[in-house]
Structures are given as structure tokens and as C-alpha cells.
């Protein structure tokens, strides 16, 4: 029911009895537990022959409830719930109040719970998850399949995705630029200081910058720019993936009220149309794989340790690059790639320029742009309706304009299964991606676009030979 605030009915009501419900640990994928079904429908086939989708409404919608308490001492703080990924189409209530809806199955989302909480008492968070619609053509799972976090912070705090670090390296010296965004949710204007410490992997201070802010009005945000010079920096590479830490503090009246650690890597990346790919000025042959996020026998709700296991095994096989096929990955995968030295092509799920799709693209870029492992953004994959025409070029151009504003340092590609025609998305994309060279006629395309770097975004010995 949406008629009156706080008057949710059924399972969304705070007093609903869930004593007969099953207890589960998060992350959770209910689809992997379902029996296999032998069905000719293409949707069922492409999703692992599991009974999830429009043909199986009884096993395609799930409800989650979580009771929790917030101590009275937390009054005055802002408290949010953050979902790293829910598949799919989630509706959320807190104490019977409807918070909102998030349709995308691969992007994170959060809600501020502060106004709805009962301090020192029982609170209830309820989710309705509907996996009937599919976004991919591969096993996608169902449910709260990534981590969920309860965050507490002062009214004056670092904004969500409020740290963006980038660097330039020249002649043995790195210039690290850190953008910090402070948000004021207090009732009065605020002033204070943001301090950024850059630490190496041993915890030693490599540089520091402080910036003052004042008269930050209620419900406003301010972005401060910090510059730190590092002599003889240790570079992030495949063989030695050295990570620095950007440690950010917000101080008010000399008291630290918020802080955040952000791992970063210092490295240079270049795609040259004639010479190939360069990491830190050295040529690297990209030997990559396209991987879906699920794992055999586990489904989509992977333990964090399995993310690291996968990357370690791929490196042992001689792999040095990973494409997140075909959707934004879980953060723990990118963390593993940062630590272990694996290049990443980070892919968006839906191509489009509507507000919803552009918002999802912005979330992806803001969330992942500090990862040194990410060397390429991918706008999409095999969008056969639009990839060769003017509509595709227009959509790609709009998406790239938004992306470049958020991350001007990385380049962009798209996985195209289309012939040598240089029109459509290929005409505007900086790095042309080829899905299956038997389709692409690479030599003919190369002669028409000698200025454009090319990359094999999806190849396999099942459909072509070297």
C-alpha cells in the first residue's frame, strides 16, 4: 500500500510475522538452489535452465526482511543502507515506509534511513525482489547476491563516491590529484578542513595536502582539489601491483568527524593505433578473458575469497586481462585485480541515453574510477539493433560525453560483432572492439581507420583460429 506514509501492508509491515520464513546469509542467490527444468523457451535455455522468468512467477519473486536496532547514542548521525547489487527490480521499505525502487541488477544503490528509524528499538528493513525480467542472455541469479552495508556518519561527511584520485607521471615524478567532495546535511552552514594523506604500501607518508572550506550551506556539497607530488613513485604493474592509500579526513573544530581509505595505483596507460598497448611506457600484449560473474556450483552470490581465487588461477594460466562480461562487476573482483595485477575492461550493461541508464553509467564510473586495474571502459556489447547506424553513434556519443566528464583519463571501447563498416558506434568510439575476427574483416577495417586502436574484445577458438 502506498496510500499513507508508514502504512505498508503484508510482508512490508513492521509487525508482519516472518517466523516461518527461512533464514539466509547474504550474499544470497535463490536461483542456484532451484531445480533444473527442461524447457525449449530461449529465455530458460540462456539462464541455465532454471525456473526463473516470466514463465515461472512462483519462483521469480522473493522477499527479504531484516530486523535490527540502532542505539540511541546514534541520534544526530546520518544512517544509510547500501546495496552493492540486487538481482533484480528491488522495492524497499523501512518500518513500513516505502523508500524507493531500483531496477538495475548490477549497479549499487543506497537509501538514507535516518528519518525513519526508531532509536533504541526494533527496526525492520524489507525488500521485494523481482527477477522476472532479464538483462543478459546468461545465468544472472536472483536475490541480494552482493554485500549490504549499514553506514553511519556525521551530518558533515565525505559524499558517496566522494574521492577521485588520478595521477600524471613524468621523469620519475608523480603528480597525484585528489578531488574530495564534502556534503553538509546539517541544519546550519558548516566550515572545516579536509586533509589527504598519501601512504605507500608500508604505511609511510608519501605526501599530504589540506584544504579549508567555509560557509558550506545545508544540503550543499563542495569539491576540493588536492595536489601531492611523489618523487620516485612505485608504479602499479602486472608483476608488482603496488598500491598507495589515499587516507582522507574531514575535520571540524580540530576534531576528525569522518575518514575514508581509498587504495590507488600510480601507472600510465596508452593505446597506440600502430604499436599497441603500453603500461608504464612498456609494451604489453593483452591476453584476456571474458568472464560472467557467476561461478560453477555457486551461482551469482560469490564469497569474496572466490573472487581472489579466480584471478589467481587466471594469472597462473598466463592471463593478464579480464573483461566484466557484460555488466558492472562486484567491487571485490576489482579489489582482487588491483592487489594481484590484472588489467580490467569494465563494462556497462545497457546502452542508452535516458536518465535512468545515464545514472547507472555515472554510478559505475564514480564507483570504479579509482581502481588502477581498470584500463578501459566499455559502453556495451553486441547491440545489433543500433551498433551500425546513426542511433547507435548518437547514443554512444552522449554516453561518452558523460563518462569523460567523470573520468577524463581513461579511454573507451565497445564490443562489436559487426563487419568492416566504420559507421555507427565504430565511427565515434576511441578504441574499436572486435567480437570474433571472422565477422570483423580486421584488415579491411584497419585500412579505412588507420588512426583508431583496435582490440579483440571477445574471441574464441570455437569460432576462429589465430
List the catalytic residues: 382, 458
Q: Which of 291, 406, 419 is closest to 358 using CA atoms?
A: 406
Asked if 70 contacts 79 with a C-beta cutoff of 8 angstroms, the reply is yes
Asked if 150 contacts 79 with a C-beta cutoff of 8 angstroms, the reply is yes
| Degrees, nearest 5: CA angle 400-158-108 | 50
Asked if 174 contacts 167 with a C-beta cutoff of 8 angstroms, the reply is yes
Asked if 160 contacts 181 with a C-beta cutoff of 8 angstroms, the reply is no
C-alpha–C-alpha distance, residues 399 and 89, integer Å:
23
Q: What single DSSP character describes residue 74?
A: G
Question: Could you give phi then psi for residue 22, rounded to 5 degrees?
Answer: -80, 140
Q: Which of 360, 311, 322, 351 is closest to 457 using CA atoms?
A: 322
Helices 304-316, 331-340: inter-axial angle, 10-degree rounding: 40
Q: If phi over 0 gives left and psi between -120 and 50 gives alpha, with beta otherwise, what is residue 120?
A: left
* 226 beta partners: 178
Asked if 338 contacts 307 with a C-beta cutoff of 8 angstroms, the reply is no
Amino acid at each position: 500500500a502506498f496510500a499513507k506514509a508508514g502504512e505498508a501492508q503484508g510482508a512490508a509491515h513492521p509487525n508482519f510475522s516472518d517466523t516461518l520464513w527461512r533464514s539466509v546469509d547474504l550474499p544470497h542467490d535463490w536461483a542456484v538452489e532451484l531445480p533444473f527444468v527442461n524447457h525449449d523457451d530461449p529465455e530458460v535455455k540462456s539462464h541455465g535452465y532454471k525456473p526463473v522468468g516470466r514463465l515461472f512467477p512462483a519462483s521469480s519473486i522473493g522477499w527479504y526482511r531484516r530486523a535490527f536496532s540502532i542505539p540511541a547514542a546514534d541520534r544526530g548521525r546520518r544512517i544509510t543502507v547500501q546495496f552493492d547489487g540486487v538481482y533484480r527490480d528491488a522495492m524497499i521499505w523501512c518500518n513500513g515506509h516505502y523508500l524507493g525502487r531500483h531496477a538495475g541488477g548490477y549497479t549499487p544503490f543506497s537509501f538514507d534511513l535516518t528519518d525513519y528509524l526508531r532509536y533504541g528499538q526494533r527496526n525492520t528493513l524489507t525488500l521485494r525482489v523481482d527477477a522476472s525480467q532479464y538483462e543478459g542472455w546468461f545465468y544472472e541469479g536472483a536475490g541480494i547476491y552482493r554485500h549490504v552495508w549499514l553506514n553511519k556518519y556525521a551530518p558533515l561527511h565525505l559524499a558517496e563516491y566522494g574521492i577521485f584520485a588520478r595521477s600524471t607521471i613524468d621523469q620519475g615524478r608523480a603528480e597525484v590529484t585528489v578531488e574530495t567532495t564534502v556534503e553538509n546535511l546539517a541544519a546550519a552552514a558548516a566550515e572545516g578542513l579536509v586533509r589527504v594523506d598519501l601512504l605507500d604500501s608500508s604505511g609511510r607518508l608519501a605526501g599530504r595536502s589540506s584544504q579549508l572550506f567555509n560557509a558550506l550551506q545545508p544540503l550543499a556539497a563542495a569539491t576540493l582539489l588536492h595536489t601531492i607530488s611523489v618523487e620516485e613513485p612505485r608504479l602499479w604493474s602486472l608483476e608488482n601491483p603496488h598500491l598507495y592509500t589515499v587516507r582522507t579526513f574531514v575535520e571540524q573544530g580540530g576534531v576528525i568527524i569522518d575518514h575514508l581509505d581509498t587504495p590507488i595505483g600510480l601507472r600510465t596507460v596508452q593505446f597506440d593505433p600502430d604499436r599497441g598497448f603500453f603500461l608504464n611506457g612498456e609494451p604489453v600484449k593483452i591476453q584476456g578473458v571474458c568472464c560472467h560473474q557467476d561461478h560453477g556450483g555457486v551461482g551469482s552470490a560469490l564469497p569474496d575469497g572466490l573472487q581472489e581465487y579466480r584471478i589467481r588461477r587466471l594469472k597462473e594460466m598466463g592471463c593478464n586481462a579480464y573483461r566484466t562480461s557484460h555488466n558492472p562487476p562486484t567491487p571485490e573482483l576489482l579489489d582482487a585485480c588491483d592487489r594481484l595485477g590484472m588489467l580490467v575492461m569494465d563494462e556497462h550493461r545497457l546502452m542508452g541515453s535516458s536518465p535512468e541508464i545515464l545514472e547507472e553509467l555515472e554510478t559505475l564510473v564514480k564507483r570504479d574510477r579509482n581502481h588502477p586495474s581498470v584500463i578501459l571502459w566499455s559502453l556495451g556489447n553486441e547491440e545489433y539493433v543500433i551498433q551500425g547506424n546513426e542511433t547507435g553513434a548518437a547514443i554512444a556519443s552522449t554516453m561518452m560525453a558523460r563518462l569523460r566528464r567523470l573520468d577524463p583519463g581513461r579511454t573507451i571501447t565497445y564490443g562489436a560483432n559487426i563487419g568492416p563498416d566504420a559507421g555507427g558506434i565504430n565511427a565515434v568510439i576511441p578504441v574499436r572492439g572486435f567480437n570474433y575476427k571472422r565477422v570483423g574483416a580486421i584488415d579491411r577495417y584497419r585500412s579505412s581507420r588507420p588512426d583508431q586502436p583496435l582490440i579483440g574484445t571477445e574471441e574464441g577458438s570455437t569460432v576462429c583460429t589465430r
